[in-house]
Structure 1
Amino acid sequence: MAIAERIPVLLRERPFRRYWTGQTVSLAGDQISLMALPLAAVLVLGADAAEMGWLKTAELLPALLFNLPLGAWVDRQARRRRAMILADLGRALLLLSLPVAYLLDVLTLGQLYVVAFAVGALTVLFEVCNATLFVALVPTERYVQANSLVNGSRSVAWLAGPAVGGVLVQVLTAPLALLADAVTYLVSAGCLARIRPVEPVPAPVEKGHFTEGLRWVVRDRSMRALFAASGTVQFFNFMFHTLFVLYVTTELGLSAGVLGAVLAAGAVGGLIGAACGGAVVRRIGIGPSLVTGFAGFALPLLLVPAASGPEPLVIGMLFAAEFLSCVAVMLADIAAGSFQMALIPDAIRARVMGAFRTLNHGFRPLGALLGGLLGAALGLQPTLWVATVGTLLAVLWVLPSPLARLRELPERAPVGVHE
């Protein structure tokens, strides 16, 4: 078989290939920041558990504040791609301010909070627009394949980003490592500037325009179940991730390089999950894939607070936790993403995604804040036990819903019609 025939159909199409390339590079940079930003707070500025909670809250609070209004705004715009390019350029400039401040010896936790909040706000704008751009580039019958490729990009980012981030932090210091993420945003903007998709016609402003997406999410039984399950995962998982870096580097005594390697092991699992996830979804169906994905994501994370003993054993438990959970989360992401893209009407897509992200991602800053407060009050390990056990509750939302029995992608629902 010729090499060209082995390449997925979508990657043979230049517009999607450029979109996918930009996403891959930008996601890799995000993983560098995932390492470098908290390490800058811990290693350079001496942040404690509560301050780490505030930093993560500042990063995630824009999802709660801006998804809904930006979703309503984006549905009224004709040029979503241009807004995504501006968001990329803005994020690059904000991140560049941190190494500049560090070199001038004026870097503070306050600046980290402000930059984290502003980058988070621009990320909300980018992601709300991204849902509309995705359906402009991908035909319905290719949704599962496209989501597999995009999640594969995320896995490649998880693989390369933490390992590179760990090395950059050790060689350059954490603030200077953020330069790499700024560059990736510039690459993403360049890739988006080179595609010309036919974007959906802007929605007219009518009565109830602002709240239509929120009402649609709440009324649709399957979307409601997916929201509840995803929100549960987001809340408890961000309790977990707020303290994970601090726990691994202080209580377990592992270096930034080892931490990067552990996260890279998760990326390998994610890459395997993305490569196989599309086939699994097609074989067992959307609903069973979601149930399997949510359960398979939560269970291995119990190994993190349980890790103890000789250092090789501790590292092995962390590797297993990251690897297995990331295999499962790719399965859940591919199934959930394909389901949403197929079901949501084009006319209200940005508003629905904005509402879903408001409800869903709004749990992130709450989880991060509670994680920081509990970490300071109870200790890091007990709080990680609460977070990992709580993540398992997500499955209970999906099992009694119609979503658990769904095999094929649903037909796109008319606006205002709900199951």
Structure 2
Amino acid sequence: MEADNRVALPPSIWKSSRFVILFSTAFFVAFGSKIYDLALPLLVYELTQSSQMMGWMRAVEFLPNLLLALFIGVWVDRFNKKNWSQCMLIGQMAVLVMSYLAVRWLADPLYVLFPCAFLMMAFNYGYHNARMGMIKNVLPHQLQNTATARMSALYNLLETVGPVLSGGLLLLSALHNVFLLVALLYLLAFFQLNKLKFEATKPIQHSSVLVALKEGWRVLYANKNMWHITLVVMVINTTGAVFWIQAIYFSKSELELSHIEVGYLIAASGIGGLVGSFTADKVRRRVGLGVLLIVSIALEALGFLLPVLHSLLFADDLFLNGYLSNVHFRNGQWVLMLSFLWVSAVGIYSSICIWSYRQEAFEEQHLGRVAGITGSLFKLLMPFGLAGSGYLVAAYGVHTAFVLCFSLQVIAALWLATTKVRAIR
């Protein structure tokens, strides 16, 4: 049946009913994720007013990718991906209810929120790993890049709408109430995914997990382009995550923005990503995947500098009095919004290039393990970078962190330009 799907190429990706089901399921998951992503750091800030604690919380969220992604990839290859995805959604719903109860009833809910954040991201990664395999299964090779771009468009559309809606909800309700809303969205995703008629390929069986991991490593390392891309993604994922969480801290501590104003900032990020996701496949056809990946990584780094450049214009204390002081803070919000928009609009090109190349370069029977291994490596430096960024900001200021992110990302782009990745079409 899978071979028939690959031969019968539909005139449009939207003619595939199974892709439409996966897309609509992803809608509920993505909407819930965007609300959760905004609510959690704001809740931590409300409880602690600490950049260090915000950095630690964000670091804990990425530990599952470091500790479990390798094994999740093997498990996904061994089980029915549809059933696996539904189990991941059930796990997330349970974690969200636990988070709500902790904030509602405990004097110090952080003791529960930290492990819940870990579990939330572990289940989330398990769901997304299986989703990639399902897309590989139900769509022909020629539509893989289009499917990746359309999924990215969905996530960026909801990144535009979700933060604004959740920011408004946070003004009307206690922060922890949104956990129940997110759980409801995941419940809708569960029932939507249940409609999928999924003809699973025969699960890969190995004598042990270690044997499966060894084969996955061999397949990955044999593709030198993907290996070089992976090394660079380890850096750019860390710089992007540090910029995101410390920009949120900057918006609350220095610009003194409200929850909904922070939502506007992240919505600007969604708008930028939405524009990029609808043009990425066209730009790739013109310049090639490798060139687009390298250039987008370098250009994205410029967005990290915009808040720094704005502050330098107001560095003299003589200009920070009265009217000009108000102008400084008001313009600071707009500059930060522009920065979010730029980083997302340009950064989505590199993300789509990375996901598309991985999707196209490996067979379905290897994709779960390769995605697991690369997923682990992609996030390898993030917990350390995020945890350390809070202390860096406390010691030297947030602008130092932004400059460091810019410098490391540009260096990574220049190194990638020296490899054969630049020749990928």
Give TM-score scaled by structure 2 length. 0.89
Where does residue 317 of structure 2 map in the other structure? none
Q: Describe how 1:204-283 pairs up with structure 2 within 5 A.
A: 204-206=205-207, 208-283=211-286
Please report how far the alpha carbon of residue 265 of structure 1 lies from its aligned counterpart in structure 2 after TM superposition.
1.1
**Quick check: 1:403 aligned with 2:406?**
no
**Quick check: 1:40 aligned with 2:58?**
no
Q: Is the 8 A contact 1:152 1:274 kept in 2?
A: yes
* Residues in 1 aligned to 2:310 and 2:162: alpha-carbon distance in whole angstroms: 24
* Residues in 1 aligned to 2:217 and 2:415: alpha-carbon distance in whole angstroms: 19
Where does residue 337 of structure 2 map in the other structure? 319
- Residues 1:21 and 1:247: Cα distance change in structure 2 (over 3 Å): same
Q: Choose from 315, 337, 352 the match for 1:334.
A: 352
In the alignment of these two chains, the number of paired residues is 399
**Quick check: 1:354 aligned with 2:372?**
yes
Please report how far the alpha carbon of residue 8 of structure 1 lies from its aligned counterpart in structure 2 after TM superposition.
8.0
Q: Which amino acid aligns with 2:378?
A: N
Q: Is the 8 A contact 1:41 1:52 kept in 2?
A: yes
Instruction: Tell me the alpha carbon deviations over residues 322-372 of structure 1, each in whole angstroms, 9 at most, x when there is no partner.
Output: 112211122222222221111112222111110001111222212211212
Instruction: Tell me the alpha carbon deviations over residues 102-135 of structure 1, each in whole angstroms, 9 at most, x when there is no partner.
Output: 3335451111101101111112211222221110
Long gaps (5+) in structure 2? 1-9, 315-326
Long gaps (5+) in structure 1? 1-6, 408-419
Please report how far the alpha carbon of residue 394 of structure 1 lies from its aligned counterpart in structure 2 after TM superposition.
2.7
Where does residue 183 of structure 1 map in the other structure? 184
Q: Is the 8 A contact 1:55 1:116 kept in 2?
A: yes
Q: Which amino acid aligns with 1:326?
A: S
Task: Specify the SS of the correspondent of 2:250.
Answer: helix
Counting aligned pairs with the same residue, the percent is 22
Please report how far the alpha carbon of residue 233 of structure 1 lies from its aligned counterpart in structure 2 after TM superposition.
0.5
Please report how far the alpha carbon of residue 399 of structure 1 lies from its aligned counterpart in structure 2 after TM superposition.
0.6
Please report how far the alpha carbon of residue 225 of structure 1 lies from its aligned counterpart in structure 2 after TM superposition.
1.4
Instruction: Tell me the alpha carbon deviations over residues 256-295 of structure 1, each in whole angstroms, 9 at most, x when there is no partner.
Output: 2111111111111111111111111122211122122212
Q: Describe how 1:111-260 pairs up with structure 2 within 5 A.
A: 111-206=112-207, 208-260=211-263
Q: Choose from 49, 55, 58 the match for 2:57.
A: 55
Q: Choose from 9, 18, 23 the match for 1:15.
A: 18
* Residues in 1 aligned to 2:339 and 2:30: alpha-carbon distance in whole angstroms: 22
Task: Specify the SS of the correspondent of 1:393.
Answer: helix
The CA RMSD measured in Å over matched residues stands at 1.9
Give TM-score scaled by structure 1 length. 0.90
Instruction: Tell me the alpha carbon deviations over residues 380-400 of structure 1, each in whole angstroms, 9 at most, x when there is no partner.
Output: 332232223322233123211
Please report how far the alpha carbon of residue 211 of structure 1 lies from its aligned counterpart in structure 2 after TM superposition.
2.1
Bigger drift between 110-119 and 168-177 goes to 168-177
- Residues 1:370 and 1:8: Cα distance change in structure 2 (over 3 Å): farther
Q: Is the 8 A contact 1:64 1:362 kept in 2?
A: yes
* Residues in 1 aligned to 2:171 and 2:253: alpha-carbon distance in whole angstroms: 16
Please report how far the alpha carbon of residue 244 of structure 1 lies from its aligned counterpart in structure 2 after TM superposition.
2.1
* Residues in 1 aligned to 2:403 and 2:134: alpha-carbon distance in whole angstroms: 39
* Residues in 1 aligned to 2:103 and 2:69: alpha-carbon distance in whole angstroms: 31
Q: Choose from 349, 363, 370 the match for 2:381.
A: 363
Please report how far the alpha carbon of residue 154 of structure 1 lies from its aligned counterpart in structure 2 after TM superposition.
1.0
Where does residue 93 of structure 1 map in the other structure? 94
Q: Is the 8 A contact 1:29 1:157 kept in 2?
A: no
Please report how far the alpha carbon of residue 47 of structure 1 lies from its aligned counterpart in structure 2 after TM superposition.
4.3
Where does residue 30 of structure 1 map in the other structure? 33
Q: Is the 8 A contact 2:301 2:405 kept in 1?
A: no
Instruction: Tell me the alpha carbon deviations over residues 43-101 of structure 1, each in whole angstroms, 9 at most, x when there is no partner.
Output: 1x124122222211211101000011111222222x11111111112112211222333
Where does residue 322 of structure 2 map in the other structure? none
Where does residue 323 of structure 2 map in the other structure? none
Bigger drift between 8-17 and 247-256 goes to 8-17
* Residues in 1 aligned to 2:299 and 2:185: alpha-carbon distance in whole angstroms: 31
* Residues in 2 aligned to 1:287 and 1:272: alpha-carbon distance in whole angstroms: 20
Task: Specify the SS of the correspondent of 1:201.
Answer: coil
* Residues in 1 aligned to 2:293 and 2:85: alpha-carbon distance in whole angstroms: 29
* Residues in 1 aligned to 2:111 and 2:310: alpha-carbon distance in whole angstroms: 34
* Residues in 2 aligned to 1:392 and 1:186: alpha-carbon distance in whole angstroms: 42
Q: Is the 8 A contact 1:235 1:364 kept in 2?
A: yes
